[in-house]
Chain A
Amino acid sequence: MITARYHREIPQRYRLEAAKCSSCGHVSFPPRLVCPQCKARKFEAVNLSDEGTIVTFTVVRVASDKFSKETPFGVGIVELNDGVRVTAQIADVHPDELKVGQKVKLVFRRVQEDGKAGILCYGYKAVLA
């Protein structure tokens, strides 16, 4: 059962809530307790841009059991317009059409499920813009 673990990440996965360091401005996603850049411990909440660019990607053809019915699927590192990078599946596209540098936008999708009877797990995925 992953309910508590899942519930904890909802603000990040659903709304891209991040933490901006009050002293150096570095944006951490997900939020942290210590700024990785300047070690300060004060932050303000910010929402990340939902648009960005593919920095690199792969097409997963052999997945863990949980994702094995969805292969092949694209996964990329996406640099959002505010400079923060996230790893995201790239949906609704034939994997052969993916290229580094493509513009994408993050949408709300079902990402996985906790077995047949467990909770459904949602979050962001990228689609070509």
Chain B
Amino acid sequence: MVGIVGYGAYLPKYRIKAEVIAQQWGADPAAITRGLQLFEKTVPGQDEDTITISVAAARSALKRARINPKDIGAVYIGSESHPYAVKPSGTILIDALGIGPHVHVASYEFACKAGSEAMYVAYSHVKSGEMKYALGIGADTSQGAPGDALEYSASAGGAAFIMGSERVVAEILFTHSYTSDTPDFWRREGESYPRHGGRFTGDPAYFKHIMGAAQALLEKSKMKPEDFAYAVFHMPNGKFPQEVGKRLGFTKQQLEVGWVVPWMGNTYSGSSPTGLAGILDVAKPNDLIFMVSFGSGAGSDGFVYRVTDEITNVQDRAPKLREMLDTNKIHLNYGEYAKFRRKIKLND
């Protein structure tokens, strides 16, 4: 049996409300809150980045897995906000967590699905028997240009998953990926903010790829939506994952737990992985979980998990997503937010 042996999520404490951003740009807050189902989003502290978020999430994953960090054979961090353009984020993470130096490390990038890519490759390594454990992480301190629609959603957070074959808490039963050249969203080298194709990001991009991966996965697994206790899809806003779930035949109840976007925002590479971590926090043995990520450019990775009896042993060993989402929040005004996100031009 191969699957997740330890998982952890991390969200920064800082938040900004959608209405505060809307007010800044003279926009109608209702279009965001009611229309896109986005109420507030996480903001990284000035001293937080994809690496520190990954370290915090991976530390929780290690606490749950209770394994020797030296037994981890590969570390992959998926993000579109790696602090270095050249120097893998994982190099810093392994030294912080006492992993390695006998370890394979790489940074992944595939817009919002870099995290599920990292999980996919980590899982494949263990499944092939190449190594005992592998760590896949999705984390981001997402950038949305000031005044752009993305500014309401682009948030910070991440989740880490240690894949292994002993004391598995969620077995991975099936995977499927679906990819094509779809220029719905991109960021050119050297640019600070991504560009996107507006409504082109919907049907031809998000919906087509998630549906493509999901339908193939259902076929492969010979399962039906009603077989699953939970489903989680990439969450660029509150509306899309609900809509894609509906089109595929999932109910609101199945989506509810993993649908963390309204109060967290879109953690990009951390989005569906963070939702999965939130589901694992409350899942029961034998629950089936359906997950499909989406990354612009574009592609989707789908996973079918079956929760094992081990889950109840590990759930309380590290902070749960819901606690991080709902408690201990520090709200920022737009000025503080602009300073935190380095949107102010400095004399340096």
| Nearest CB on A from B277, distance (A) | 18
- In whole angstroms, how far apart are the Cα atoms of A120 and B84 in the complex? 9
Closest A residue to B51 using CB positions = A122
- Contacting residues of chain B (228-251) with chain A, CB-CB under 8 angstroms: none
Check B49 for interface membership: any CB of A closer than 8 A.
yes
- In whole angstroms, how far apart are the Cα atoms of A107 and B14 in the complex? 16
Interface size grouping (class) on chain B: 20 to 34
Contacts of A24 in B (CB 8 A): none
Contacts of A109 in B (CB 8 A): 45, 47-48, 52
Contacts of A110 in B (CB 8 A): 47-49, 51-52, 83
Q: Judging by beta carbons under 8 Å apart, are A92 and B330 in contact?
A: yes
Check B55 for interface membership: any CB of A closer than 8 A.
yes
Contacts of A125 in B (CB 8 A): 47
| Nearest CB on B from A30, distance (A) | 16
Interface size grouping (class) on chain A: 10 to 19
Contact with B along A100-129 (1 / 0, CB 8 A): 000000011111000010001010010000
Q: Judging by beta carbons under 8 Å apart, are B98 and A91 in contact?
A: no
Check A34 for interface membership: any CB of B closer than 8 A.
no
Check B189 for interface membership: any CB of A closer than 8 A.
no
Contacts of B12 in A (CB 8 A): 92
Contacts of A94 in B (CB 8 A): 330
Contacts of B310 in A (CB 8 A): none
Contacts of A89 in B (CB 8 A): 47
Contacts of B55 in A (CB 8 A): 108
Contacts of A15 in B (CB 8 A): 95-96, 98
Check A69 for interface membership: any CB of B closer than 8 A.
yes
Contact with A along B191-214 (1 / 0, CB 8 A): 000000000000000000000000
- In whole angstroms, how far apart are the Cα atoms of A52 and B51 in the complex? 24
Q: Judging by beta carbons under 8 Å apart, are B45 and A108 in contact?
A: no
| Nearest CB on A from B177, distance (A) | 32
Contacts of B346 in A (CB 8 A): 69
Check B323 for interface membership: any CB of A closer than 8 A.
no
Q: Which of A10, A14, A91 contacts B47 (CB 8 A)?
A: A91
Q: Judging by beta carbons under 8 Å apart, are A122 and B45 in contact?
A: no
| Nearest CB on B from A31, distance (A) | 16
Check A70 for interface membership: any CB of B closer than 8 A.
yes
- In whole angstroms, how far apart are the Cα atoms of A122 and B98 in the complex? 15
Q: Judging by beta carbons under 8 Å apart, are A122 and B52 in contact?
A: yes
Q: Judging by beta carbons under 8 Å apart, are B95 and A10 in contact?
A: yes
| Nearest CB on B from A92, distance (A) | 5
Check B92 for interface membership: any CB of A closer than 8 A.
yes
- In whole angstroms, how far apart are the Cα atoms of A124 and B47 in the complex? 11
- In whole angstroms, how far apart are the Cα atoms of A109 and B48 in the complex? 6
Contacts of B330 in A (CB 8 A): 92, 94
Contact with B along A25-38 (1 / 0, CB 8 A): 00000000000000
Most buried by A among B55, B84, B339: B55
Apart from the given pairs A14-B95, A91-B47, 20 other A-B contacts in the complex at a CB distance below 8 Å? A10-B95, A15-B95, A15-B96, A69-B46, A69-B339, A70-B46, A89-B47, A92-B13, A92-B45, A107-B56, A108-B52, A108-B55, A108-B96, A109-B52, A110-B83, A116-B348, A120-B84, A122-B51, A122-B96, A125-B47
Chain A positions near chain B (C-beta within 8 angstroms): 10, 14-15, 69-70, 89, 91-92, 94, 107-111, 116, 120, 122, 125
The list of the 5 closest CB pairs from A to B, nearest first, reads A109-B47, A14-B96, A108-B55, A110-B47, A92-B13
